[in-house]
Structure 1
């Protein structure tokens, strides 16, 4: 499918500003403020501080993935199961994209399983019914030494005797940094391997081979995915998406008032996307700044209309410490199914929705929720997706990555490392 538009409807938090005149200037940051934030990101891009900026425009992931598929055509024709062994950034982005797009007719009938948890019950459950003959194990680890991934990899190697012969080794493909321990293992054992640049952080890596190879194996149009991301990023660097800079300035400068950021997605297909966002936002922005001060913003992912019945009360009448970003779909693209014009005794009060599409009902629930929250003076903004396809998902991915970088730049932090996570790894080794 072609690249579909991603419409960003920015409400600029006006409801809150009207009630707080002392913060009204944040609704319209000065040109100097916008230029400063853009300058930070432009400098990062030019200095290649993070390789994710260039992924939508590069062909390495496409070429490497196509070459792998060409070299293993006979094996891939037999594959019915794709088992992804990875954690965090090595799995969340891929899981998010597949969850959003799996309704598309191009999706192959391949069962996608994620082995990312060291819970013994979950391991046995995930691998139940999986046989080596019709399975490809994709092991993803940037460092190559992530303890969860390496331990799970050792287990499947042992369980399925994947090193017993060259034929067995072909049922594995590794994705890792060039010259990482995992890369060296692949070379030593003659295991298929794809590499990514070292300056691409795991949570920013979904548009690299980490996501492109599995998505290509599943049948998706990865060219459209990358083109969508490239189109939005190019517009951003051409200063045609200034709303993103304005939002970053508001969130960063007003973090003491609103330390919690909610992503309220009105489609169950976006549940795993919410999880990807939570990791991206939390792990990137919870840091010590250049002055040694702890900074950060707390992400929460909600699904509408389900979480209206569990969280809306807290948002509307709880502490005023939250912003809310809504994501919704263009309901006109999803006219079926409809609620039947069925009248039931004692349920007459519910008949007002009869003969309405479920998409329209969900859309109106989202609008009602957003207006309820706005009336309480809570900052909101809104992203409307025209259609769930590869191109729109590419734009959605790069939108949140760029927003994260902008906020991190204002915070004066390194958005691309995770030192506290590394401390935990060191502590675990000491305990053993």
Structure 2
């Protein structure tokens, strides 16, 4: 269960901005309904379609004996091709259903990182997943070439250790057909940063043992409620952020658990790459995402939030700590450190929870807009809801901005320039 609380009206100056009219809510909702109807992006359909599930099940059933020996999964991809899986893995890796398989991500062309990541990877007990919409992304193609040569993966007996996930009829798809390599395809109309609920995420997560049906159910249930107008808080938040973009151009996701570190990175790409665009009038628009982890970043960023420029909104993610009663801070009194004894005999979970509340109230007292997402339990269903929440929020803000939230022309310019340099 997820609970959404908004505190945008804590500042009296913002009270009238945090309660949009019914007409404003209806206008934004109509924009998103039109995007879904016109299939501007296929991500709207992902929680309900069966292709990703069935393709993944088929591969696993056909390769059962081979998969029994797999101890390593290496994902080669960048951006949306890896961040979504990494985000979910980071949050759910504590679950008992998680198989004893080492998951490694190759997403960086840093030579030191490449060697460090592969130093203990052997071909005979590893599965290499190449994830790319086209296969021509230079980081992914270069890393793919490297592992193919390093592990002789195009030799006939070794090809079973390769699986491609790509757009249908992409260059990578054609390569897979020519070389008789296992390949799973996704809809071309799904951008990488919106692809985690497609085969891009479902296949590796199923290999790792996660309940991907529950993940899709959580996303589907929330999306249904949104389109039934039962999650109006999302529309209100989108309007508040979009209409106050000049006053609050920076949006901070402050997650109070280290488990959310990679989820925050997924959010940064989703928010930044989707909303930083030219609108239909040729004006540059966008909102800047920042990722923070509590309580660590209370000691690095909180000072700037509270007494720096008032140009930020903060979304807190917190967990229900009632289930985490261990470990406990020992009741040890140390000379000269008596000022710290007030937390003795307290669970670390309670300490973290109170740190989050104290930080949030401190920020609110400065008149800074905040909202909070409380998660009752870290499980596949709740994370499915969280993912689709942020994707729908991004679409809503993009709709108000009059932009295409699903392309990335600025990124393509950089790719062209790199080719010219070579």
Gap regions ≥5 residues in structure 2 = none
Residue aligning to 2:260: 270
Residue aligning to 1:217: 207
- Distance, in Å, in 1 between the alignment partners of 2:121 and 2:161 is 12
Aligned equivalent of 1:119, options 110, 118, 123: 110
Residue aligning to 2:78: 87
Q: Secondary structure at the match of 2:174?
A: helix
**Contact map agreement 1:144 1:177 (CA 8 A) in 2:** no
Q: Secondary structure at the match of 1:42?
A: helix
1:128 matches 2:119: yes
Q: Secondary structure at the match of 1:291?
A: coil
Residue aligning to 1:14: 9
Q: Let me know the Cα RMSD of the aligned residues.
A: 0.7
Residue aligning to 1:392: 382
Residue aligning to 1:43: 34
- Distance, in Å, in 1 between the alignment partners of 2:66 and 2:133 is 25
1:52 matches 2:77: no
Superposition misfits of 4+ residues, deviation over 6 angstroms = none
Aligned equivalent of 1:236, options 214, 226, 230: 226
TM (norm. structure 1) is: 0.97
Task: State the shift of 1:144 in Å.
Answer: 1.8
1:149 matches 2:140: yes
Q: Secondary structure at the match of 1:300?
A: strand
Q: Please list, as runs of the form range in 1=range in 2, the aligned pairs for 1:32-431 lying within 5 A after superposition.
A: 32-165=23-156, 167-431=157-421
Q: Secondary structure at the match of 1:57?
A: coil
- Distance, in Å, in 2 between the alignment partners of 1:280 and 1:333 is 31
**Contact map agreement 1:251 1:407 (CA 8 A) in 2:** yes
Choose 174-183 or 24-33, whichever is displaced more.
24-33
Task: State the shift of 1:24 in Å.
Answer: 3.2
- Distance, in Å, in 1 between the alignment partners of 2:134 and 2:240 is 35
- Distance, in Å, in 2 between the alignment partners of 1:298 and 1:352 is 38
**Contact map agreement 1:156 1:162 (CA 8 A) in 2:** yes
- Distance, in Å, in 2 between the alignment partners of 1:394 and 1:333 is 21
Q: Deviations over 1:28-57 (max 9, x none)?
A: 100000000000000111111101111001
Task: State the shift of 1:27 in Å.
Answer: 1.2
Q: Secondary structure at the match of 1:162?
A: coil
Give the aligned length: 422
Residue aligning to 2:21: 30
Choose 344-353 or 285-294, whichever is displaced more.
344-353
Q: Secondary structure at the match of 2:367?
A: coil
- Distance, in Å, in 2 between the alignment partners of 1:372 and 1:47 is 44
- Distance, in Å, in 2 between the alignment partners of 1:26 and 1:406 is 17
- Distance, in Å, in 2 between the alignment partners of 1:237 and 1:143 is 32
- Distance, in Å, in 2 between the alignment partners of 1:338 and 1:53 is 44
Task: State the shift of 1:347 in Å.
Answer: 1.5
Q: Deviations over 1:325-354 (max 9, x none)?
A: 000001112111111122222221111111
Gap regions ≥5 residues in structure 1 = none
Q: Secondary structure at the match of 1:220?
A: coil
- Distance, in Å, in 2 between the alignment partners of 1:110 and 1:163 is 24
